[in-house]
Structure 1
Amino acid sequence: MLRLFVALDLTEEVRQRLAGLAGGVPGARWTEPESMHLTLRFIGEVPEDQAMDIDAALAEIRAPAFTLTFDGVGMYGSARRARVLWAGVERNEALAHLQVKIESALVRCGLPAEERKFSPHITLARLKDAPTDRIGRFLSDRGLFRTGPMPVEHVTLYRSHLGNGGAVYEALREYPLDSV
């Protein structure tokens, strides 16, 4: 069985800008810059033959290359029990269309449709018992975070290896987007 997901890779410049947001929240487990990505669809555990079908389906997707701007920070969970700190993505129709095409291709491969609404973000940190005042300060101090446009020229199929130190991501294949 292979644990897979489809994601956008980040440029080194964007990774470093995002990594620069880290700090100031006790109990936060910050994402390493080399592990940062924008998940388009978590697939989960699939047998190898289905992984081959997924690879073939992703290779057939045609979508234009585009640019993406990261904008703002936020959290998932409640104010009393935040679970994740994230960096947001400026609304982007090309990204939304690409995600729909990927979702459709994966459903054709026999995967169940994703029930959650697509909410593009970069996970900055996972939280456990972090003080709410420090989370609030983190969000207000970094609320104006914004990057310049980042080129998106391919989509990547990743395999996730779970271990004691967290997940390790292995890029299996890149699927180029069409030049504009």
Structure 2
Amino acid sequence: LGEIERSRLIAIQSSLEDVSKLTKPFSLEIAGAGAFPGKNRPRVFWLGMSVEKESPLFGIQQWIEEAMAVLEFEKENRRFSPHLTLGRVKFNADFSGIFQYLEKHPFPSIAFTVDHVSLIQSHIKPSGAEYTMLSEYRF
């Protein structure tokens, strides 16, 4: 969301509280691993999600995106791609060994329950991003 004023932060927190009241815990499954934008020049390593079209995750994402649009935040141009970020790459290197390993040893499926949404602030520093949880909203 970028730099935001305190008044907008309060509005965001209110929106997240609203969505948490309308949501019940649900299950997701980690399935597979990969990199954005791709294997040739990876910038982000991730674990993928096996998500049904009917999953509450898509409803939550859409609801939050619409709530942020009302607060005049720009909508994301990219298609929503549920994943867990493992790490970011700051340099060019040969990661082919990692991808060869993952092809021979696929990441196991792991199911887990989603029971909250968190608002997290990032501080960009020369050493990398540092994250602070501002608030958590349980379903």
Q: TM-score, normalised by structure 2?
A: 0.85
- The residue type paired with residue 83 of structure 1 is R
Does structure 2 conserve the Cα–Cα contact (< 8 Å) formed by 1:73 and 1:142? Answer: no
AA aligned to 1:120 is P
Q: Counterpart of 1:56? A: 14
- Superposition TM-score, scaled by structure 1 size: 0.67
User: Percent same amino acid among aligned pairs?
Assistant: 31
What are the within-5 Å matches in structure 2 for residues 21-36 of structure 1? none
Q: CA RMSD, aligned part only?
A: 1.7
Distance 1:159 1:60 in 2: 20
Is the aligned partner of 1:98 residue 2:98? Answer: no
CA distance in 2, matches of 1:110, 1:140: 43
Task: State the alpha-carbon separation in 1 of the partners of residues 105 and 68 from structure 2.
Answer: 36
Distance, in Å, in 1 between the alignment partners of 2:3 and 2:102 is 34
1:131 alignment partner, one of 68, 82, 94: 94
- Structure 2 SS opposite 1:102: helix
Output the amino acid matched with 1:57: S
- Any unmatched runs of 5+ in structure 1? 1-42
Letter in 1 for 2:87: A
> For the residues of structure 2 that align with 1:125 and 1:142, how far apart are their CA atoms?
19
Query: 2:95 and 2:15 mapped to 1: Cα distance?
Result: 44
Number of aligned positions between the proteins: 134
Q: Secondary structure in 2 aligned to 1:55?
A: helix
Question: How many angstroms does 1:132 deviate by?
Answer: 4.6
Query: Equivalent residues in 2 for 1:49-128 (5 A)?
Result: 49-61=7-19, 62-92=22-52, 93-127=55-89, 128=91
- What corresponds to 2:113 in structure 1? 151
